[in-house]
Structures are given as structure tokens and as C-alpha cells.
């Protein structure tokens, strides 16, 4: 089934929520035959059409429109909207004539009696010709571009805002469909529904994604360039879509993008269930964030446990703990769609997949189950950082920031272009099973190996000073873990693998022990300011990743010696180094070839093990308590 067919089916399934749910109309599912417009002035009228007052206030509303008026340019003067419009259109002859036709159509129709009274009130007011003078009496500048909306007070009617009354929405579409669409538009095949002999339109809705401006997904009005020229004589030979189905599909997509879209500049990615409840879990979030959406009670319960494996909890939660009855309930279809501007005024669908809901969840679980590592907690609702880590997959945004860094300024077109491409590549990894791109992994590893570049010297705490590097490091480890699974079918445990004999992994462990020795010695001295400074292991991390044998020799024999003495020989730590050294295969320790991303896994896993190392031996041998040390580190 095509993306546009699924969108129009979604509109039909969600028709009960059209126009309701929020006072902010840009967040609502818009009725057929309407468009969102920003208005500047509210004109209040009696039911008789008498003027009450004018109110200068901006509000975004959906206004009735024709397919022609919706597509009009700023210079058009002969395509007024049917009810609300700019002053220059309201004072024109054509607007009055169109409104009069609508009023006559509604006359005598009991189901539209309220709409008839309100349209008649606006018609009488426009006929009086006092619009501009009424605005002047309220000191509102007479600007032809001011967009006017109407409120009509009628006895027994609680709502006076015409744009909020469902009866008027239905009255407009009933009139427009019978008096205009069916008579003016050509008849043919609708490529969405497959119906024949129905009125199709060549002018489709715009402003589907507000960040894309007036860009359209379907357009065939460019007869002089290459929209269809060279293949077809007329645009209708390329594709025809009925007016009603085009409206439903485009309005559904606009609503879904606003409601649950994942957006960057002109790109919007949305996943939805083709159902009356289209909401789904956010595929692009990290494991902790997704579990918070699906199982808040278990999330609260788990927060008291150190290093909770949220990827595993997510797997159990989304799979229903193996309950086949729960899996059978996932019969809905799920669509994942990405759009972006192809050119100015043109949108394109850059990605589309349709899945069963259980398959959708299974692929998310698969991604989080393999691409998981220690991840630092994000900010709480009070904008404070929560200490510690959870085990899970990083979010799309965390991956992209680890690869690209942060944007240089608020408007950074080059950064947005790279970010959009990366987000789409990650979509393919999650839903199509494609392997993680090598360049993303290599770049993340390179940035994680340069901690001094990510140091925040103006931070108030040691944790804040290295928080950005920690985020990049954790994300890089998750990507490396995923990379070796995808390309080598080699699996790494999140916990320390103390018997793994991989050279790169072992060198990473050595670096972590060196870091711990210096950190422990500084803590013993009690200089909090000195504790925040980068250790020699961290300072030489870049060189270590390129020439590990040479750098380790210098680091161990020269830089660490004073700290070893401060720890009275650091016997426990030296024993750890000896145990690691004994695991190297013959000749591998002496090799000075650059390290792969595996060394980051060894470094982080060893560091976490050292951080959690508690007990009598640790206190006696090292002269300190790691709980206290972690608070400083």
C-alpha cells in the first residue's frame, strides 16, 4: 500500500478528532477544504450583522478555502477565501458574490441553520461597507494585508468564533463539493482509492511542513520545465488524485508531523499506526527515554538500581515478556515516512517503509539490544543532570552529535544538511537491517579519542567538565559494539571481559588502570581543583590510540611513577596491570600499530569495573574509598 493511501486511511480512522483537542489550531487535524492561516484582527458582530467591536490580536486558525485560493500567490486579487481573508479581498466584489452563493445554498437546510445565520451576518456586514471605518474607530491601522476573522453572537449559541464551529466546517465542504468541485473539476481515476469517474484536482495542499514553507508534495503546474514535460502531454497523464482524498492525505501528514514528527530544518520523519490511535513509541529516542514512554512504573522501580540495563527491560516490555496473546494484538500496520525539500516549493518522500506493528517493535528492540552500552542520564524535568549511567542504546541525536559535534550557530545550513543525511542513514539501520556506516563509527571513535577538545574548562564541577566527552565516549562505544556485530558477527559484553585476549581491548584496559592510578593518588592528596584536571592517561589518549606501545612505555615509566609512589607502591593496581599484560598474545603487545575502536570498549569497561570496586581490599590497598572518588571524578 502506498504512503499516500495510508495517510488518507489514517485521516478516515481519526475523523472523530478533526478540529478538536487543543485551542492551538496548528496542532489539530484540519477539516477538508480548510487551510491554516495567521489572522491579525477579530471582528465581532451581532447576529443581525451589526458591528460590535474590533480586536487587534494575532491568532492562527483554519479557514475555509478552495483548491484555487489555497494555491494563490501573494499578488493574487481574484481568488479570495470564502469567509476569512485580508482586507483587500474582503472589500472586493468577488468575495461578496462568492459569499452570497454560499448563503443561498445553505438557505432552508435545517442541518446548517446555525451556519446560515452566521454567514448571513458576515454577508450583511460586508455589504454595509463599514469595515475600514470600523477598524479606524478602534485605532487599527488600515492595512490591506491585515487578515480578518469573524465572531458572530447569536442567541442560544455559546461559541461565537466561526472558525471553531464544526457546523460551519461541514457547511462549507458540503457547498464546495456540490457547487464547485463536482461541476468545475474534471472526472477521472483517483490513484489513491482506485475509484473512477470522480472529480480530481491538479492543485494540491501546500505548507505540509511549516519549516518547508509552501513546498508541495504533489504538483504538476510547471508546464515549461521538467515536472512532466518530455514524458506526458498533460499533467493529468502522470497522476490524478481526487480532491477529497488529496485533502485527507495531506491534512493527515501535516497533523502527524506537528503531533509526533522528528524534525530537522525542512526534513520531517514520522512513524504512525494506520489507526484511530496513530501514536507510537519514539524509535529515535534512547533506551531510557523509550522505556519511560512504555513502562513508567518499572522505570521508577529501576532508578534505584545502579547501572540498570534499560535495553534489556525495553526488550521485555515491548515483547510482552513473551506473552503470545499480547503479540497477537499487534495487528495494526505501521508506516515510517521521511520528507524533505527537493527544491524550493517542492517536497519529496525520501524514505518510506510499511511494517506490522510487532515487526516495528521487534526492529526497535533489535537495534537497542545490540547497539547498547553505558549511557549517561540526561537532564531531569527540572533541567538538572542526573548522576550515573544506564545501559542502553543512544538516541539518534546523541549519535549525530557524537559524529558531527554541536552546531556552530543557530542557523547552520551545512550542519543541517549533514544531520539530515545521518538521520536517514540511521533509519535504514533500524528498520532495514543495514549495517552501521563505517564513516559514522570511525568519526565517533576519533572524537572520543580526543577528550581535551571536548573539555569544558568553565564548568563548575569535574563531572560537568567532562560531561560532553563522556557522552561522546559512551555513544562511540555503542557504535563500535554495533559495528563489530554487523561486520564481523563479533559480540562484546557491556561488562568487563577479563579473559578477552584482543590486543586493542587489552590496551584500552591498561589505559583505564593508568587513569585510575593517577586519579586515586590525586584524591588521596585532597585537592579538589587538581582532581578535575585531565589525567596523563586522558591527555595522551590521542597519541595512545595511534602508537600504543610507545605511548604506554612513556606513560608507565615516566608519568605514572610519582603517583605510584604516593599510593605506597600501588600494589593492587600493578597486579591488575600484570594480569592484563599476561593476556596479550605473543608479539601483539610490542606492536605499535594504531588501535581500533575496540580499545574504547576495553577502556570504558575496565574503568567502570574499577569505579565499582569496593570492599576491604580496595580500601586497604588503595588508601581510599571509590564511592567518594566517583563523586570527585
Q: Are residues 39 and 134 in the same domain?
A: yes
The DSSP 8-state label assigned to residue 224 in this structure reads T
CB of 393 within 8 A of CB of 372? Answer: yes
Say what percent of the chain tops pLDDT 90: 57
Q: Are residues 289 and 353 in the same domain?
A: yes
Q: Are residues 67 and 166 in the same domain?
A: yes
Q: With 60 as the cut, is the pLDDT of residue 421 above it?
A: yes
When pLDDT is averaged across residues 353-372 and rounded to a whole number, the result is 92
Q: Are residues 194 and 165 in the same domain?
A: no
When pLDDT is averaged across residues 520-543 and rounded to a whole number, the result is 82
When pLDDT is averaged across residues 450-458 and rounded to a whole number, the result is 90
Task: Check residue 106 and give its pLDDT.
Answer: 93
The pTM score is 0.87
User: Of 315, 350, 366, which residue sits at a domain end?
Assistant: 366
Q: Are residues 243 and 274 in the same domain?
A: no
Task: Check residue 55 and give its pLDDT.
Answer: 94
Greater pLDDT, 329 or 201: 201
Task: Check residue 320 and give its pLDDT.
Answer: 59
Task: Check residue 529 and give its pLDDT.
Answer: 60
CB of 40 within 8 A of CB of 33? Answer: no
Q: Which of 190-194, 432-436, 515-519 has the lowest mean pLDDT?
A: 190-194
User: Of 233, 252, 271, which residue sits at a domain end?
Assistant: 252
The answer to whether residue 429 sits within a structural domain is no
Q: Are residues 173 and 196 in the same domain?
A: no
The DSSP 8-state label assigned to residue 311 in this structure reads H
The DSSP 8-state label assigned to residue 274 in this structure reads S
Joined together, the cell numbers standing for residue 222 give 510547471
**Contacts of residue 12, Cβ cutoff 8 Å, sequence gap at least 6:** 248
Q: For residue 222, what are the domain limits?
A: 1-19+185-252
**CA Rg, the chain, in Å?**
32
Query: SS3 string of 577-616?
Result: HHHHHCCCCCCCCCCCCCCCCHHHHHHHHHHHHHHHCCCH
Average pLDDT, the chain: 86
Task: Check residue 301 and give its pLDDT.
Answer: 45
Task: Check residue 513 and give its pLDDT.
Answer: 96
Q: With 70 as the cut, is the pLDDT of residue 464 above it?
A: yes
Q: Confidence band (pLDDT; 50, 70, 90) for 549?
A: very high
Greater pLDDT, 201 or 48: 48
Q: Confidence band (pLDDT; 50, 70, 90) for 626?
A: very low
Q: How many residues does the chain have?
A: 633
The answer to whether residue 407 sits within a structural domain is no
Task: Check residue 416 and give its pLDDT.
Answer: 93
The answer to whether residue 114 sits within a structural domain is yes
**Residue that is written with C-alpha cell 443581525 in the block:** 48
Query: What is the tens place of the pLDDT at every residue in 468-491?
Result: 999 999 999 999 999 999 999 999
When pLDDT is averaged across residues 605-631 and rounded to a whole number, the result is 56
User: Of 228, 252, 276, which residue sits at a domain end?
Assistant: 252
Q: With 60 as the cut, is the pLDDT of residue 615 above it?
A: no
Q: With 60 as the cut, is the pLDDT of residue 359 above it?
A: yes
Q: How many CB atoms lie within 10 A of CB 463?
A: 17
Greater pLDDT, 555 or 382: 555
The answer to whether residue 460 sits within a structural domain is no
User: d(Cα 192, Cα 95) in Å, to the nearest integer?
Assistant: 33
**Angstrom distances, CA of residue 259 to CA of 28, 250, 268, 354, 615:** 8, 14, 11, 20, 51
The alpha carbon of residue 339 and the mean position of all alpha carbons in its chain are separated, in whole angstroms, by 13
The DSSP 8-state label assigned to residue 179 in this structure reads I
Q: Confidence band (pLDDT; 50, 70, 90) for 452?
A: very high
Q: With 50 as the cut, is the pLDDT of residue 311 above it?
A: yes
Closest CA to 278 of 233, 214, 221, 332: 332
Q: With 80 as the cut, is the pLDDT of residue 620 above it?
A: no
When pLDDT is averaged across residues 341-370 and rounded to a whole number, the result is 90
CB of 34 within 8 A of CB of 276? Answer: no
Task: Check residue 616 and give its pLDDT.
Answer: 37
> How many Cα atoms sit within 13 Å of 581 on the Cβ side?
12
**Contacts of residue 609, Cβ cutoff 8 Å, sequence gap at least 6:** 495, 496
Q: With 70 as the cut, is the pLDDT of residue 572 above it?
A: yes
The answer to whether residue 459 sits within a structural domain is no
Task: Check residue 218 and give its pLDDT.
Answer: 82
Q: With 80 as the cut, is the pLDDT of residue 120 above it?
A: yes
Q: How many CB atoms lie within 10 A of CB 627?
A: 10
Q: Confidence band (pLDDT; 50, 70, 90) for 177?
A: confident
CB of 283 within 8 A of CB of 241? Answer: no
Q: Are residues 314 and 196 in the same domain?
A: no
Task: Check residue 21 and give its pLDDT.
Answer: 75
User: d(Cα 349, Cα 3) in Å, to the nearest integer?
Assistant: 9
SS3 of residue 390 by DSSP = strand
Rounded to a whole number, what is the distance in angstroms from the first to the last CA of the chain? 55
When pLDDT is averaged across residues 307-334 and rounded to a whole number, the result is 66
User: d(Cα 447, Cα 401) in Å, to the nearest integer?
Assistant: 10
Query: SS3 string of 500-544?
Result: CCCHHHHHHHHHHHHHHHHHHHHHHHCCHHHHHCCCHHHHCHHHH
Task: Check residue 491 and give its pLDDT.
Answer: 94
Closest CA to 422 of 452, 401, 394: 401
Joined together, the cell numbers standing for residue 41 give 484582527
Q: Are residues 266 and 362 in the same domain?
A: yes
The answer to whether residue 476 sits within a structural domain is no
Closest CA to 415 of 400, 428, 429: 400
Q: Are residues 502 and 627 in the same domain?
A: yes
Torsions phi, psi for 220 (to 5 deg): -145, 30
When pLDDT is averaged across residues 211-218 and rounded to a whole number, the result is 84
The answer to whether residue 404 sits within a structural domain is no
Task: Check residue 331 and give its pLDDT.
Answer: 73
Task: Check residue 226 and give its pLDDT.
Answer: 56
Task: Check residue 32 and give its pLDDT.
Answer: 92
The tally of domains found in the chain comes to 4
The answer to whether residue 59 sits within a structural domain is yes
Phi-psi region of 623 (alpha: psi -120 to 50; beta: other; left: phi over 0): left
Q: Which of 40-49, 245-254, 380-389, 589-598 has the lowest mean pLDDT?
A: 380-389
User: d(Cα 248, Cα 5) in Å, to the nearest integer?
Assistant: 10
Q: With 80 as the cut, is the pLDDT of residue 325 above it?
A: no
Q: Are residues 313 and 227 in the same domain?
A: no
Q: Are residues 148 and 208 in the same domain?
A: no
Query: What is the tens place of the pLDDT at every residue in 121-170?
Result: 999 999 999 999 999 999 998 888 999 999 999 988 889 999 999 999 99
263-283 b/e with 16+ CB inside 10 Å = b?
A: bbbbbbbbbbbbbeebebbbb
CB of 85 within 8 A of CB of 65? Answer: no
Closest CA to 336 of 278, 271, 386, 249: 271
Query: What is the tens place of the pLDDT at every residue in 226-251?
Result: 555 566 677 767 778 888 888 999 99
Q: With 70 as the cut, is the pLDDT of residue 458 above it?
A: yes
Q: Are residues 231 and 99 in the same domain?
A: no
Task: Check residue 405 and give its pLDDT.
Answer: 94
Amino acid at each position: 500500500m502506498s504512503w499516500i493511501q495510508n495517510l488518507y486511511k489514517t485521516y478516515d480512522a481519526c475523523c472523530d478528532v478533526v478540529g478538536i483537542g487543543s485551542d492551538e489550531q496548528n496542532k489539530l487535524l484540519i477539516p477538508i477544504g480548510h487551510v491554516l492561516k495567521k489572522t491579525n484582527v477579530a471582528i465581532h458582530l451581532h447576529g443581525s450583522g451589526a458591528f460590535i467591536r474590533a480586536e487587534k490580536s494575532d491568532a492562527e486558525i483554519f479557514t475555509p478555502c478552495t483548491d484555487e485560493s489555497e494555491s494563490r500567490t501573494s499578488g493574487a486579487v481574484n481568488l479570495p477565501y470564502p469567509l476569512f481573508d485580508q482586507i483587500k479581498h474582503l472589500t472586493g466584489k468577488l468575495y461578496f458574490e462568492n459569499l452570497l452563493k454560499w448563503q443561498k445554498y445553505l438557505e432552508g437546510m435545517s442541518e446548517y441553520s446555525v451556519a446560515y445565520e452566521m454567514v448571513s451576518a458576515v454577508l450583511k456586514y460586508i455589504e454595509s461597507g463599514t469595515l475600514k471605518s470600523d477598524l479606524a474607530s478602534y485605532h487599527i491601522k488600515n492595512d490591506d494585508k491585515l487578515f480578518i476573522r469573524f465572531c458572530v453572537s447569536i442567541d442560544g449559541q455559546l461559541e461565537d468564533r466561526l472558525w471553531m464551529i464544526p457546523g460551519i466546517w461541514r457547511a462549507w465542504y458540503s457547498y464546495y463539493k456540490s457547487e464547485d468541485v463536482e461541476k468545475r473539476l474534471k472526472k477521472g481515476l483517483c490513484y489513491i482509492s482506485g475509484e473512477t469517474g470522480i472529480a480530481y484536482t491538479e492543485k494540491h495542499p501546500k505548507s505540509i511542513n511549516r519549516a518547508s514553507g509552501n513546498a508541495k508534495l504533489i504538483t504538476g503546474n510547471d508546464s515549461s520545465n521538467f515536472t512532466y514535460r518530455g514524458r506526458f502531454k498533460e499533467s493529468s497523464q502522470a497522476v490524478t488524485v481526487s480532491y477529497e482524498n488529496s485533502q485527507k492525505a495531506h491534512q493527515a501528514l501535516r497533523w502527524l508531523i506537528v503531533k509526533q514528527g522528528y524534525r530537522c530544518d525542512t526534513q520531517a520523519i514520522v512513524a504512525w499506526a494506520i489507526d484511530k490511535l496513530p501514536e507510537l513509541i519514539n524509535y529515535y529516542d534512547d533506551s531510557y527515554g523509550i522505556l519511560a514512554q512504555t513502562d513508567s512504573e518499572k522505570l521508577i522501580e529501576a532508578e534505584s538500581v545502579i547501572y540498570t540495563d534499560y535495553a534489556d527491560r525495553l526488550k521485555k516490555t515491548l515483547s510482552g515478556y513473551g506473552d503470545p496473546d499480547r503479540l497477537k494484538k499487534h495487528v495494526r500496520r505501521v508506516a515510517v515516512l521521511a520528507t524533505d525539500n527537493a527544491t524550493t516549493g517542492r517536497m519529496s518522500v525520501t524514505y518510506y517503509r510499511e511494517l506490522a506493528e510487532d515487526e516495528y517493535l521487534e526492529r526497535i528492540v533489535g537495534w537497542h539490544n545490540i547497539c547498547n552500552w553505558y549511557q549517561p542520564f540526561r537532564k531531569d524535568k527540572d533541567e538538572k543532570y542526573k548522576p550515573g549511567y544506564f545501559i542502553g542504546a543512544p538516541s539518534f541525536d546523541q549519535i549525530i552529535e557524537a559524529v558531527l559535534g554541536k552546531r556552530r550557530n543557530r542557523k547552520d545550513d551545512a550542519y543541517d544538511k549533514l544531520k539530515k543525511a545521518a538521520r536517514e542513514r540511521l533509519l535504514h539501520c533500524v528498520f532495514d537491517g543495514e549495517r552501521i556506516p563505517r564513516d559514522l563509527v570511525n568519526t565517533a571513535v576519533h572524537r572520543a579519542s580526543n577528550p581535551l577538545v571536548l573539555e569544558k574548562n568553565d564548568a563548575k564541577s569535574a563531572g560537568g567538565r567532562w560531561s560532553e566527552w563522556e557522552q561522546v565516549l559512551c555513544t562511540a562505544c555503542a557504535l563500535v559494539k554495533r559495528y563489530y556485530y554487523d561486520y564481523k558477527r563479533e559480540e562484546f559484553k557491556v561488562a568487563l571481559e577479563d579473559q578477552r585476549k584482543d590486543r586493542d581491548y587489552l590496551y584500552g584496559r591498561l589505559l583505564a588502570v593508568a587513569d585510575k592510578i593517577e586519579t586515586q593518588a590525586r584524591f588521596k592528596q585532597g585537592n579538589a581543583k587538581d582532581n578535575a584536571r585531565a589525567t596523563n592517561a586522558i591527555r595522551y589518549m590521542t597519541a595512545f590510540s595511534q602508537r600504543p606501545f610507545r605511548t604506554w612505555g612513556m606513560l608507565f615509566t615516566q608519568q605514572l611513577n610519582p603517583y605510584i609512589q604516593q599510593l605506597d607502591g600501588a600494589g593492587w593496581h600493578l597486579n591488575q596491570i600484570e594480569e592484563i599484560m599476561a593476556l596479550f598474545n605473543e608479539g601483539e603487545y610490542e606492536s605499535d600499530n594504531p588501535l581500533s575502536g575496540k580499545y574504547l570498549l576495553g577502556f570504558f569497561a575496565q574503568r567502570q569495573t574499577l569505579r565499582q570496586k569496593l570492599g576491604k581490599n580496595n580500601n586497604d590497598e588503595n588508601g581510599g574509598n571509590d564511592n567518594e572518588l566517583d563523586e570527585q571524578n
